[in-house]
Structure 1
Amino acid sequence: MDVNTRIARRVRELRDAQGFSLDALAERSGVSRSNISLIERGQSSPTATVLDKLAAGLGVTVASLFEDSRAPAAEPSPMARVAEQPVWTDPASGYVRRNVSPPARSPIQLVDVVFPAGQRVAYETAARDVEIHQQVWMIDGTMEMTVGDTLWRLETGDCLAMRLDRPIVYRNPTRRPARYLVALATLPFTTPRRNG
């Protein structure tokens, strides 16, 4: 299945499951109604920034937008062969992301990213209905990540942990591509108990 078709089906499926109209998702995500409609029809290739806004509006991770929405005939496989892993290229920056995780449901998602030299992607990362933790492990190269107001420089082998609850900017300041692994874990928000 073409990756844009997969994204289109998944966005529509998640929107329908939550009972959001196009207008409601547009308001929650900050993505225009017409753009969401084009994405859901597979007539627009969204950028990484737009996917992040849609994911935030739907209360899911960006990686969730690449999952196969078709109901499996049997229990989802715990194996993800490399040839079956969805690969997507951001039309704005050229960064390439491959969803590594198998279709079996898990609270952990793995994403392999190759980030081009000199490129930058900014995520506005809004509040979600779930708590999402992320770790970025540099496999090769250098990346600068601004998480909220803090700038981190990651070199090969470094790992940075964060929650997806503030703006994040990814930038490759070098003249060669960088490669890193993103590990995401989704947890429900826990409400503190009140004494009384």
Structure 2
Amino acid sequence: MHSILMDETLPTIDSRLAARLRALRSDQGLTLDGLAERSGVSRSMISLIERGESSPTASVLDRLAAGLGVTLASLFADAERADAKPVVRRDDQVTWQDPATRYRRRNLSPPGFPSPIELVEVDLPPDARVTYDSAARAAVIDQQVYVLEGTIDLTVGDETHRLSAGDCLAMRLDRPVGYHNPTSLPARYIVALTTESARKPNAVKR
């Protein structure tokens, strides 16, 4: 197996995240203070993450992604490149586990391949709850959630949707979003995302 798992290769996944965050911030000409102001994450925390000295939670990473105008999946992706392969095998897909909730997300999309769509597979443990409180974002992001196994309560703003296997919910990420597995069994679902800039011709998404 070659999957990058946080539990098995902590320095690798943290260093990958650190380099990606530095690159995204640099590409936008943002200082640490500038990203802190945009994201609501402290300068000191961002610095620790960029040095690979902190394992941030999903909530923190979502605020950073919102401030940068990218998706959370983009923080674990590669920059787009012309020679990227259009296929990625499951053993080579980057997998990250939230240290707070133990929920696991896997980037399914081929790394670095130019595409307006990002696909992520998520495993949500029994009774786990993940909340993304970022409402204001630097880019328009739309997503759809398709449940493969189990049941999840997906809250978008003030509205909660109970989704079971085979159900699909479309939403725009302009309000706080929460995922909760209300059962004693694991849940698994696919998330498809696209950003406003990704839908424009010749735009670089990641």
TM > 0.5: yes
Q: Percent identity?
A: 59
**Quick one: distance in 2 between partners of 1:3 and 1:107?**
25
1:80 to 63, 85, 88: 88
5 Å matches for 1:139-178?
Answer: 139-178=148-187
Residue in structure 1 matching 2:114, options 105, 114, 124: 105
Specify the alignment match of 1:3 in structure 2.
13
Q: How does 1:16-35 map to 2 (within 5 A)?
A: 16-35=26-45
* Cα distance change on mapping 1:27 and 1:136 into 2, 3 Å: same
Shift of 1:185: 1.1
CA RMSD of aligned residues (A): 1.7
Determine which of 32, 40, 51 is the counterpart of 2:50. 40
Which residue, 110, 113, 138 being the options, matches 1:129? 138
Gaps of 5+ in 2: 5-11, 200-206
Contact kept in structure 2, 1:98 and 1:111, CA below 8 Å: yes
| TM-score using structure 1 length | 0.92
CA contact 1:118–1:171 (8 Å) conserved in 2? yes
Deviations 1:141-167 (A, max 9, x none): 000011001010001110000001100
Instruction: Tell me which residue corresponds to 2:22.
Output: 12
Structure 1 consecutive aligned stretches of length 4 or more whose deviation exceeds 3 Å = none
Q: Deviation string for 1:42-92 (max 9, x for gaps)? A: 1111100001000001010000000135x86x6111011111110000000
The letter for the 2-side match of 1:130 is A
Contact kept, 8 Å, 2:152 with 2:182, in 1: the verdict is yes
- State the SS of the aligned residue for 1:52: helix
1:121-152 superposed Cα distances (whole Å, 9 cap, x missing partner): 11012322321110000000000011001010
Structure of larger gyration radius: 1
Say whether the 8 Å CA contact 1:144–1:171 is kept in structure 2. Answer: yes
Task: Find the residue that maps to 1:6 and give its secondary structure.
Answer: helix
* Corresponding residue SS for 2:118: strand
Give the conservation status (yes or no) of the 8 Å contact 2:116–2:198.
no
Residue aligning to 1:194: none
Find the partner of 1:187 among 186, 189, 196.
196
SS, match of residue 130 in structure 1: coil
Rounded to whole Å, the distance in 2 between the matches of 1:80 and 1:187 is: 25
Letter in 1 for 2:109: S
> By how many angstroms is 1:98 displaced?
0.3
